[in-house]
């Protein structure tokens, strides 16, 4: 192209000019977020083995076997039935193994076919950090009109994400980012523009949250700024504006009674955390520390977030995911599903759903390791869609199996089902308008921190997190997802900083890229609020990405409370926090 724009999207609602004309106060702010490295437990790795028919077999650590399968067939110019991709049980991914395994698979496949022998390519940690994609850095500008009581009346939001040198998945990351950019709040008049720009830096790609952590961080920080400028508490301004049943997002989708839980999770988080008592205790501790010359200050902050489950708009319809189930001769049932296990619990939750649908003990359900020559293409294991979307298709397939057997089918019986679009959902991709997601998960967190005013180090002490995820199929796994996701967000907001120079990463080793240990984690209290979703398997919604959205904004809100200032750029390292001191800018 003639410029460095990879994607440029716009969402509009209401009358922006009239909205700002009715405002009694205008608040403006600019918010910046940095890169984040995935640091999955297992590094990227694939093994390619040539086949006698001129094709190739791939075994690898990946999220999306059929993405790799399609890339190989197209890249090698061979028939699809001559390419087989098998997923090895994957040690974490967080989005980092969505598209990159296709690159490695093509490289190893070409070498294997050329030399006639298996070829393995397994990165060490330095190689993995140096060449793989990261979370998109962002700059988000908010200009908001409010009434004196804190009611939001208009917003002009500009979201820019840094794609790096290549497009990769930036257009779809940007799309989801702007759809969440207004936060969990009512906005009658809004304009939200999003741009993904190419820069002379390494490319960025998918990462847990997929653009939402960046845009919702800005929305939450801006609401805190508005509260401060209006003389309101952050809690008060959120209560006044949060989305309720019957409200519409700026992109036009109406929230039904069963899918609006902002008030539920926020109020429950405040009560469960003993927010007011905890904040009063922190202030008393700060007064005592100041009187004695101590350096530690405590603060308590909150944040409210949401996340759309599944692919945006008509994405699920275009993918048309499928599931197969097979009754074996011993009476067990095998799930032939393309969804992968990477530590999140797919091999546990999907069999639980099938066992319920088939009225079988869980131990009678088998989960076939994803193999493109055997299992159905259930779509990629991304976008918080496995339990909600694939799980629902699985229920349909199981019911078809039962019906076939009731009709006299043979002992070795197989049934399948495919995604069926909801005729009531309408989406206009060109305007980014309509029913963007099949369901929304909601989350709120209250975080207490301790800050050393001498070193400006931030230590999170406690986190109460409440999430509404429809029906929790496996509560233990859900709690684990919440704790891990919130901590990942806290680390992104305070510790994890990728530095670049001349298009290269400077800190491309774990000795220089700092991640949290168990000693950096707060004491967690997690509560699951269940409000079944009609479009999910047994009422379940997606959960995997939601917790990532809440950690950073809640952390900075707590630092605000502890010190009277924090910042609008993350990671909020001690150096950055020191520069943000009011006396440093005077």
484 part of a folded domain: yes
**pLDDT value at position 547?**
99
- Mean pLDDT for the stretch of residues 230-246: 98
Query: Are 545 and 465 members of one domain?
Result: yes
Q: How many domains does the chain have?
A: 4
pLDDT of residue 2: 66
Cα Rg for the chain, rounded, in angstroms?
24
Is residue 246, in this structure, part of any structural domain at all? Answer: no
Please say if the pLDDT value at position 107 is more than 80.
yes
What DSSP assignment string belongs to 324-392? Answer: EEEE-TTS-EEEE--PPPSSSSHHHHHHHHHHHHHT--GGGEEEPPPBTTTS-----S-TT-IIIIIHH
How large is the average pLDDT for residues 8-26? Answer: 99
Average pLDDT over residues 17-46: 99
pLDDT of residue 534: 85
Q: Are residues 152 and 67 in the same domain?
A: no
pLDDT of residue 583: 81
Together in a domain, 362 and 473:
no
Per-residue confidence at 258, pLDDT binned at 50, 70, 90? confident
* Local structure of 299: helix, strand or coil: strand
Assess whether 362 and 509 both reside in one domain.
Answer: no
Full domain range(s) for residue 505: 252-311+437-586
pLDDT of residue 409: 67
Distance, CA of 206 to CA of 187 (rounded, Å)? 28
Structure confidence at residue 257 (pLDDT): 80
> Distances in Å between the alpha carbon of 84 and those of 15, 60, 321?
53, 11, 19
The CA distance from 453 to 473, in Å, is: 44
pLDDT, tens only, 135-149: 999 999 999 999 999
On whether residue 16 sits in a domain, the answer given is yes
308-326 pLDDT, tens digit per residue, is: 999 999 999 999 999 999 9
| Domain membership flag for residue 241 | no
**Mean pLDDT computed over 81-96:** 98
Residue 220 within any structural domain of the chain: yes
Residues written for the chain? 586
Question: What CATH number is given to the structural domain containing 273?
Answer: 3.30.365.10
Cβ distance 255 to 185 under 8 Å?
Answer: no
Q: Of 177, 206, 233, which residue is a domain's last?
A: 233
- Are residues 68 and 202 part of one domain? no
| Average pLDDT, integer, range 454-469 | 98
In terms of domains, do 358 and 331 share one?
Answer: yes
Q: 278 and 413: one domain?
A: no
Q: Exposure of 402 by Cβ count < 10 A (0-12 exposed, 13-18 middle, 19+ buried)?
A: middle
In a domain, 245, yes or no: no
Numbers of helices and strands, H then E, in the chain? 15, 21
Statement to judge: residues 179 and 143 lie in one domain = yes
571 upstream amide cis, omega within 30 of 0: yes
* In a shared domain, residues 442 and 554: yes
pLDDT averaged over every residue in the chain: 97
Rounded-to-integer distance, Cα 181 and Cα 250, Å: 9
pLDDT higher than 80, residue 586: no
Q: 498-550, pLDDT tens digit by residue? A: 999 988 999 999 999 999 999 999 999 999 999 998 889 999 999 999 999 99
Residues 492, 578, single domain; the answer is yes
Query: Please, which residues have CB within 8 angstroms of residue 473's CB and are 6 or more apart in sequence?
Result: 349, 352, 353, 387, 391, 537, 538, 540
Predicted pLDDT of residue 259: 86
Predicted confidence (pLDDT) at residue 201 exceeds the cutoff of 70? yes
**585 band by pLDDT with thresholds 50, 70 and 90:** low
Q: Two tokens at 292? A: 């004695």
Q: Residues 452, 542: one domain?
A: yes
Percent with pLDDT over 90 in the chain: 96
> Where a domain ends, among 125, 144, 170?
125
Q: CA 228 to CA 20: how far, in whole Å?
A: 20
Q: Which of 118, 123, 200 is nearest to 166 (CA)?
A: 200
Domain boundary among the residues 84, 104, 125 is at: 125
User: Where do we find the tokens 């963007």?
Assistant: 436
Question: Does any domain span residue 427?
Answer: no
* pLDDT tier, 411 (very low <50, low <70, confident <90, very high otherwise): low
Find out whether 407 and 367 touch, Cβ atoms under 8 Å. Answer: no
**Is a pLDDT exceeding 60 seen at residue 288?**
yes
Between 407 and 333, the more confident residue is 333
Dump pLDDT digits (tens) for 151-194: 999 999 999 999 999 999 999 999 999 999 999 999 999 999 99
Is residue 305 domain-shared with residue 319, that is, in the same domain? no
328 C-beta neighbours (distance < 10 Å), count: 13
Confidence bin at 3 (pLDDT 50/70/90): confident
Note whether residue 429 is domain-resident.
no
């Amino acid at each position: 192209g003639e410029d460095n724009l990879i994607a440029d999207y716009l969402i509009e609602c209401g009358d922006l000019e009239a909205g700002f004309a009715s405002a009694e106060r205008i608040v403006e702010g600019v918010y910046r977020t940095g890169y984040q490295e995935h640091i999955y437990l297992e590094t990227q790795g694939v093994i390619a083995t040539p086949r006698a028919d001129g094709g190739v077999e791939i075994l690898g650590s990946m999220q999306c076997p059929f993405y790799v399968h399609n890339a190989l067939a197209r890249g090698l110019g061979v028939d699809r039935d001559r390419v087989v991709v098998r997923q090895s049980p994957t040690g974490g991914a967080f989005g980092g193994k969505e598209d990159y395994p296709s690159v490695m698979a093509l490289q190893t496949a070409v070498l294997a076919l050329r030399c006639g022998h298996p070829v393995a390519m397994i990165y060490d940690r330095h190689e993995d950090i140096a060449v793989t994609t990261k979370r998109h850095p962002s700059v988000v500008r908010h200009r908001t009109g409010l009434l004196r009581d804190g009611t939001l009346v208009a917003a002009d939001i500009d979201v820019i994400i840094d794609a790096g040198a290549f497009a990769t998945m930036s257009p779809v990351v940007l799309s989801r980012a702007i759809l969440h950019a207004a936060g969990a709040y009512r906005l009658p008049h809004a304009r939200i523009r999003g741009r993904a720009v190419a820069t002379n830096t390494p490319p960025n790609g998918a990462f847990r949250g997929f653009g939402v952590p960046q845009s919702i961080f800005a929305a939450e920080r801006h609401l805190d700024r508005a509260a401060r400028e209006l003389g309101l508490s952050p809690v008060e301004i959120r209560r006044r504006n949060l989305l309720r049943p019957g409200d519409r997002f700026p992109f036009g989708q109406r929230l039904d009674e069963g899918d609006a839980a902002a008030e539920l999770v926020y109020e429950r988080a405040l009560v469960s955390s003993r927010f007011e008592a905890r904040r009063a205790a922190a202030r008393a501790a700060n007064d005592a520390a100041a009187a004695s010359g101590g350096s530690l200050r405590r603060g308590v902050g909150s944040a409210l977030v949401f996340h759309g489950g599944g692919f945006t708009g008509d994405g699920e319809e275009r993918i048309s995911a499928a599931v197969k189930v097979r009754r074996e001769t011993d009476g067990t049932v095998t799930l032939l599903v393309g969804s992968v296990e990477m530590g999140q619990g797919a091999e546990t939750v999907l069999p639980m759903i099938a066992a319920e649908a088939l009225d079988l003990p869980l131990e009678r359900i088998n989960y076939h390791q994803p193999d493109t020559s055997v299992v159905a293409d259930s779509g990629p294991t991304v976008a918080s869609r496995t339990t909600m979307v694939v799980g629902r298709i699985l229920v349909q397939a199981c019911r078809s199996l039962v019906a076939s057997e009731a009709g006299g089918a043979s002992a070795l019986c197989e049934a399948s089902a495919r995604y069926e679009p909801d005729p009531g959902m309408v989406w206009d991709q060109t305007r980014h308008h309509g029913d963007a997601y099949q369901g929304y998960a909601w989350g709120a967190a209250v975080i207490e921190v301790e800050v050393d005013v001498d070193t400006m180090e931030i230590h999170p002490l406690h986190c109460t997190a409440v999430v509404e995820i429809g029906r929790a199929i496996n509560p233990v796994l859900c709690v684990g997802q919440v704790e891990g996701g919130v901590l990942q967000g806290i680390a992104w907001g305070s510790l994890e900083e990728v530095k670049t120079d001349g298009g290269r990463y400077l800190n491309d080793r774990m000795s220089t890229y700092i991640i949290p240990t168990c000693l950096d984690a707060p004491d967690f209290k997690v509560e699951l609020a269940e409000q079944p979703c009609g479009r999910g398997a047994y009422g379940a919604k997606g959960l995997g990405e939601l917790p990532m959205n809440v950690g950073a904004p809640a952390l900075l809100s707590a630092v605000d409370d502890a010190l009277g200032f924090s910042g609008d750029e993350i990671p909020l390292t001690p150096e950055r926090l020191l520069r943000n001191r009011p006396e440093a800018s005077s």
